[in-house]
């Protein structure tokens, strides 16, 4: 079983997000980056499938500038066998048709049985790359996976539907699956894993071209939809005012 | 037609987000002078066509094909692609449902046309069509523009438009046809099912105390439980808390959990990611406590407290007892 896992480096949930003066993107200098949350779950799922099968290969694939080698190393330290870095000068295009084509071109001769990716990135959040790749590579696709079972040349995926509903879908291999957060417990890299990662191979390749068919016109901080009453003061004052608000304004006490 | 709306089947009725995309199409159509049409397909196509024809769109296309009777990404993406090629619209509008996320990117790839997803607004100011999308878990917005020749695929977030504003009318219905082959469908689907709800019905609760990642760790969950008890409230949570295993999924509020509208929704350490907000923004009073003054939850809160939930919650419980 040969599994590719697409991982993306994105700003952490606590990171500041300064906007560039021309409003074209965030100012990358001020950002603390992490591995995209659902990609971390996708990686864990791939590692578990390999471990259960007792054989196979997990390859981390990422696209972006040099800074993304941090998440590539993290993937290798957790147990991926090798990595492919599609190297760009900038953060890359926001158009998933472009990025998915670049991933598909990079992987077309690898003959992966499975391509796993996170459901969507926590930065732009287009949520399409893994699904588009499946189409471009002639694979079956399923999104929002909450569990997987691999066997007999197939993968069974428990798909999350809306409002607490689920559905099992069986796909023939090869298949591209997008993974929902929460389906497993991602591991932390061990010290041995971190040391071992240094010897693992990272193949750096150039991206293929492609014209973006959508772009960001302007990035900005949203205006508040509501007038929010802020309750200020010391902790004790805040608590006192909160009780007062619940009693006299919301009238629930 | 210029604008094609793809309507989704929700147990024999048009999915609410489909009705919301009709409103988007009506706005875009009237501002730009474009014609509108709606597509329905699947086992309930006849009933959906009847329902769609009661809205102010120029026409409704219904596709009855045995291979579309149940949903598959392979079948639905191919059918929508063929209808787009036949009708040649400039805009193809969807609700950003879980089903649309599953197959619409494949339509985009088949046509090599852009899919602008999960938008919260559209503007046609000065003849320039701009869609607005949330990024970075709703902390920033971005105006997104398509380029090149259409068609452009566009989806809208839940509640971006109000279904109540869909103008009624009487549209003609015609049969559409697609050319599908059973060999195209590479997946087999089982019946949808619901997981055991565990007896937590949040939908009828008057008061809800809800915990997010900001509660820090599983050992802190009792702090929220005690506050809920002191208020006589139900305990709910955002997705990360369920993902971490701190509370069972029956407590989850949001797009993949329950939708609630209590008299008071007290959000403890919840950042306000859109997947959560769609499940609780109908609450009459939203009170948010969060240490990050920039947290998006404050955008929709009626009352906000910037502070550490671990400090405030025990004192609040004590004051209420």
In a domain, A210, yes or no: no
Q: 């959990």: which residue's tokens?
A: B257
Contact A215 B145 (CB under 8 A): yes
In a domain, A142, yes or no: yes
Q: Which of A71, A87, A80, A103 is nearest to A7 (CA)?
A: A71
Q: How far is CA A231 from the centre of its chain?
A: 36
Per residue in B93-151, pLDDT tens? 999 999 999 999 999 999 999 999 999 999 999 889 999 999 998 889 999 999 999 99
Q: 């049409």: which residue's tokens?
A: B37
Q: Give A23's contacts in chain B (Cβ within 8 Å).
A: none
Per residue in B47-89, pLDDT tens? 999 999 999 999 999 999 999 999 999 999 999 999 999 999 9
Tokens of A211: 């014209």
Contact A4, A61 (CB under 8 A): yes
CA distance B196 to chain A (A): 9
Per residue in B219-260, pLDDT tens? 999 999 999 999 999 999 999 999 888 998 889 998 878 888
Contact A246, B264 (CB under 8 A): yes
Contact A213 B113 (CB under 8 A): yes
Same structural domain for residues A137 and A230? no
In a domain, A217, yes or no: no
**Structural domains for chain B:** 3-184 (3.40.50.620), 207-320 (3.40.50.1220)
Q: Give B143's contacts in chain A (Cβ within 8 Å).
A: 216-218, 220
Question: Angle formed by the axes of helices B98-111 and B73-87, to 10°?
Answer: 50
Q: How far apart are CA B193 and CA A160, in angstroms?
A: 10
Same structural domain for residues A187 and A242? no
Range of the domain at A187: 2-205
CA distance B269 to chain A (A): 13
In a domain, A212, yes or no: no
Same structural domain for residues A36 and A132? yes
Q: How far is CA B69 from the centre of its chain?
A: 23
Q: Give A216's contacts in chain B (Cβ within 8 Å).
A: 142-144
Give the count of Cβ contacts less than 8 A between chain A and B.
242
Q: How far apart are CA B213 and CA B241, in angstroms?
A: 6
In a domain, A61, yes or no: yes
Per residue in B292-301, pLDDT tens? 998 999 989 9
B47 touches chain A (CB under 8 A): no
Q: Which of B284, B282, B200 is nearest to B248 (CA)?
A: B200
Q: Nearest 5°: CA angle at B221, between B239 and B245?
A: 45
Contact B80, B153 (CB under 8 A): no
Q: Which residues contact A70 (CB under 8 A, 6 or more apart)?
A: A9, A33
Contact B120, B17 (CB under 8 A): no
Mutate to test the interface with B, among A163, A166, A168, A209 (most CBs of B within 10 A): A163
In a domain, A108, yes or no: yes
CATH number, domain containing residue A112: 3.40.50.620
Q: CB-hemisphere CA count at 13 Å for B294?
A: 13
Q: How far apart are CA B265 and CA B207, in angstroms?
A: 6
Question: Angle formed by the axes of helices B309-320 and B221-231, to 10°?
Answer: 30
Question: Would you tell me which residues 270-309 of chain B have a C-beta closer than 8 angstroms to some C-beta of chain A?
Answer: 271, 284-285, 287, 292, 296, 298-308
Contact B117 A217 (CB under 8 A): no
**Whole-angstrom distance between the N-terminal and C-terminal Cα of chain A?**
59
B111 touches chain A (CB under 8 A): no
Whether the pLDDT of residue B199 is over 80: the answer is: no
Q: 């996708």: which residue's tokens?
A: A42
Contact B14, B20 (CB under 8 A): no
CA distance A131 to chain B (A): 6
Same structural domain for residues A158 and A47? yes
Same structural domain for residues A246 and A128? no
Same structural domain for residues A240 and A152? no
Peptide bond into B180 cis (omega under 30): no
Q: Give A224's contacts in chain B (Cβ within 8 Å).
A: 298-299
Q: What is the largest CA-CA distance in chain A?
A: 68
In chain B, which residue's Cα lies nearest the Cα of A12?
A: B136
B182 touches chain A (CB under 8 A): no
Handedness of CA A169, A173, A176, A182 (dihedral sign): positive
In a domain, A149, yes or no: yes
Contact A252 B190 (CB under 8 A): no
Same structural domain for residues A147 and A88? yes
Q: Give A34's contacts in chain B (Cβ within 8 Å).
A: none
Q: How far apart are CA B234 and CA B318, in angstroms?
A: 18
Tally of structural domains, chain A: 2
Same structural domain for residues A125 and A232? no
Tokens of B54: 């009661």
Contact A214 B108 (CB under 8 A): no
Q: Which of B294, B296, B291 is nearest to B313 (CA)?
A: B291
Same structural domain for residues A68 and A180? yes
- CA-derived radius of gyration, chain A: 21
Mutate to test the interface with A, among B92, B105, B282 (most CBs of A within 10 A): B105
Kindly report the backbone phi and psi dihedral angles of residue B141, in degrees, each rounded to the nearest multiple of 5, phi listed first: -110, 160
Contact B72, B189 (CB under 8 A): yes
Q: Which of B75, B82, B64 is nearest to B4 (CA)?
A: B82
Q: How far apart are CA B78 and CA B244, in angstroms?
A: 38
Helix (H, G, I), strand (E, B) or coil at A169: strand
Same structural domain for residues A13 and A110? yes
In a domain, A115, yes or no: yes
Whether the pLDDT of residue B36 is over 80: the answer is: yes
Question: Would you tell me which residues 80-99 of chain B have a C-beta closer than 8 angstroms to some C-beta of chain A?
Answer: 97-99
C-alpha distances (whole Å) from B115 to each of A97, A105, A196, B130, B240 are 9, 20, 41, 13, 28
Same structural domain for residues A158 and A53? yes
- Taking only the tens of pLDDT, chain A with its 253 residues reads 999 999 999 999 889 999 999 999 999 988 999 999 999 999 999 999 999 999 999 999 999 999 999 999 999 999 999 999 999 987 778 999 999 999 999 999 999 999 999 999 999 999 999 999 999 999 999 999 999 999 989 999 999 988 778 999 999 999 999 999 989 999 999 999 999 999 999 999 999 988 999 999 999 998 877 789 999 999 999 999 999 999 999 999 8
Q: Nearest 5°: CA angle at A118, between A112 and A121?
A: 130
Same structural domain for residues A190 and A238? no
Q: How far is CA B46 from the centre of its chain?
A: 25
Q: How confident is the model at residue B196 (pLDDT cuts 50, 70, 90)?
A: low
B146 touches chain A (CB under 8 A): yes
Contact B302 A228 (CB under 8 A): yes
ipTM here:
0.91
Q: Which of B104, B83, B90, B101 is nearest to B41 (CA)?
A: B83
Q: Looking at residue B197, what is its pLDDT?
A: 59
What one-character-per-residue DSSP string does B70-85 give? Answer: S--HHHHHHHHHHHHH
Neighbours of B110 (CB within 10 A): 18
Mutate to test the interface with B, among A231, A239, A248 (most CBs of B within 10 A): A239
CA distance A213 to chain B (A): 5
Mutate to test the interface with A, among B8, B15, B108 (most CBs of A within 10 A): B108
Contact A235 B320 (CB under 8 A): no
């Amino acid at each position: 079983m040969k599994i590719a896992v697409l991982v993306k480096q994105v700003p952490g949930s606590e990171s500041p997000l300064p906007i560039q003066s021309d409003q074209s993107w965030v100012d990358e200098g001020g950002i603390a980056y992490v591995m995209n949350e659902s990609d971390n779950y996708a990686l864990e799922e791939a590692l578990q499938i390999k471990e259960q099968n007792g054989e196979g290969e997990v390859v981390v694939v990422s696209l972006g500038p040099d800074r993304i080698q941090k998440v590539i190393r993290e993937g290798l330290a957790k147990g991926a066998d090798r990595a492919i870095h599609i190297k760009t000068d900038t953060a890359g295009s926001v158009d998933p048709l472009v990025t998915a084509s670049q991933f598909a071109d990079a992987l077309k001769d690898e003959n992966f049985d499975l391509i796993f990716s996170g459901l969507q990135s926590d930065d732009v959040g287009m949520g399409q790359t893994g699904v588009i790749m499946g189409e471009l590579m002639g694979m079956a696709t399923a999104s929002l996976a909450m569990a997987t079972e691999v066997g007999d040349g197939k993968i069974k995926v428990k798909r999350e539907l809306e409002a607490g509903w689920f559905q099992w879908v069986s796909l023939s291999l090869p298949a591209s699956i997008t993974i929902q957060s929460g389906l497993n417990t991602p591991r932390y890299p061990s010290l041995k894993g971190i040391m071992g990662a240094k010897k693992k191979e990272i193949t750096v390749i150039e991206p293929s071209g492609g014209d973006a068919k959508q772009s960001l016109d302007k990035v900005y901080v949203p205006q508040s939809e509501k007038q929010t009453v802020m309750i200020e003061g010391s902790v004790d004052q805040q608590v006192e005012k909160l009780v007062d608000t619940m009693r006299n304004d919301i009238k629930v006490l | 037609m210029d604008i094609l709306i793809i309507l989704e089947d929700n147990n024999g009725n048009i999915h609410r987000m489909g009705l919301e995309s009709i409103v988007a199409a009506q706005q875009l159509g009237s501002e730009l002078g474009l014609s509108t049409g709606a597509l329905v397909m699947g086992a309930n196509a006849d009933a959906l066509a009847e329902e769609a024809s009661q809205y102010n769109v120029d026409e409704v296309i219904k596709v009855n094909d045995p291979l579309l009777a149940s949903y598959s990404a392979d079948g639905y993406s191919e059918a929508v692609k063929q209808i787009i090629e036949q009708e040649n619209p400039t805009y193809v509008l969807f609700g950003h449902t879980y089903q649309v996320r599953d197959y619409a990117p494949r339509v985009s790839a088949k046509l090599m046309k852009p899919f602008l997803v999960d938008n919260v607004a559209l503007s046609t100011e000065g003849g320039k069509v701009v869609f607005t999308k949330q990024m970075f878990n709703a902390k920033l917005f971005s105006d997104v523009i398509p380029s090149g020749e259409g068609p452009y695929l566009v989806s809208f977030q839940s509640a971006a438009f109000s279904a109540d504003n869909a103008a009624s009318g009487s549209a003609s219905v015609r049969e559409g046809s697609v050319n599908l082959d059973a060999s195209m469908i590479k997946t087999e689907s089982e019946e949808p099912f619901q997981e055991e709800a565990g007896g937590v019905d949040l939908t009828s609760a008057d008061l809800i105390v809800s915990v997010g990642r900001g509660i820090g760790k599983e050992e802190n969950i009792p702090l929220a439980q005690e506050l809920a008890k002191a208020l006589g409230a139900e305990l709910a949570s955002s997705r990360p808390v369920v993902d971490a295993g701190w509370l069972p999924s029956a407590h989850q509020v949001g797009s993949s959990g329950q939708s609630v509208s209590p008299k008071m929704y007290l959000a403890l350490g919840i950042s306000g990611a859109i997947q959560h907000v769609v499940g609780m923004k109908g609450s009459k009073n939203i009170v948010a406590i969060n240490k990050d003054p920039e947290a998006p939850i404050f955008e929709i809160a009626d009352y906000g407290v910037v502070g550490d939930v671990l400090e405030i919650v025990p004192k609040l419980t004590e004051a209420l007892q």
